[in-house]
Amino acid sequence: MKRLVIKVGTAVLTQDGELAYERMQNLVKLIATLKNEKNIDVILVSSGAVGAGYTSLKLDKSVLANKQTLAAIGQPKLMKTYQEMFEEFGITVAQMLFIADDFDSRKRSKNAKNVMEILLKNKVLPIINENDVISTEELIGDNDQLAAYVTHYFKADMLSILTDIDGYYNKNPREFNDAKILKVVNEISEEELNKKPTANSKFATGGIVTKLKAADFLMQKNIPMYLTSGFDLKNAYEFLVDNIHISGTIFK
CB atoms within 10 A of CB 179: 13
CA separation (Å) from 62 to 13, 107, 178, 226?
19, 35, 33, 31
| Contact residue for ligand ADP among 55, 95, 172, 247 (CB under 6 A) | 172
Minimal distance, residue 198 CB to ligand ADP, in Å: 5
Closest approach, Cβ 211 to ligand ADP, in A, equals 7
Residues 6+ apart with CB under 8 A from 239: 160, 226, 228, 245, 246, 248
Determine the 3-state secondary structure of 193 from DSSP: helix
Q: What Å distances lie between residue 163 and 112, 121, 210, CA to CA?
A: 27, 29, 12
Q: How far is the CB of 92 from ligand ADP (least distance, A)?
A: 26
Which among 111, 93, 104, 106 is positioned nearest to 46, based on CA atoms? 93
- Asked if 6 is part of the footprint of ligand ADP (rule: CB under 6 A), the reply reads no
CB of 175 to ligand ADP, least distance (A): 8
Cβ nearer to ligand ADP, comparing 120 with 211: 211
199 binds ligand ADP (CB under 6 A): yes
- Measured from the CB atom, the residue of 56 and 198 that comes closer to ligand ADP is 198
Q: If you ran DSSP here, which 8-state letter would residue 132 be given?
A: G
Site string for ligand ADP, 152-171 (x = CB under 6 A): -----------xxx--xx-x
Residue 201 C-beta: closest distance to ligand ADP, Å: 6
In the complex, least distance from residue 111 CB atom to ligand ADP, rounded to whole angstroms = 28
* Count, residues in the chain: 252
- Return the exposure string of 89-125: e unless at least 16 CB atoms fall within 10 Å of the residue's CB, then b: eebebbebbbbbebbeeeeebeebeeebeebbeeebb
Separation between Cα atoms, residue 70 and residue 207, nearest integer Å: 21
For ligand ADP, the closer of residues 32 and 209 by Cβ is 209
Footprint on residues 68-107 left by ligand ADP (CB under 6 A):
none
The answer to whether 200 contacts ligand ADP (rule: CB under 6 A) is: yes
Nearer to ligand ADP, 126 or 230 (CB): 230
Distance between CA 199 and CA 211 in Å, rounded? Answer: 11
Residue type, 42: V
Min dist. Cβ of residue 237 to ligand ADP (A)? 18
Which listed residue (71, 204, 219, 225) binds ligand ADP by CB under 6 A?
A: 204
Positions that interact with ligand ADP (CB under 6 A): 9-12, 163-165, 168-169, 171-174, 198-201, 204, 206-208
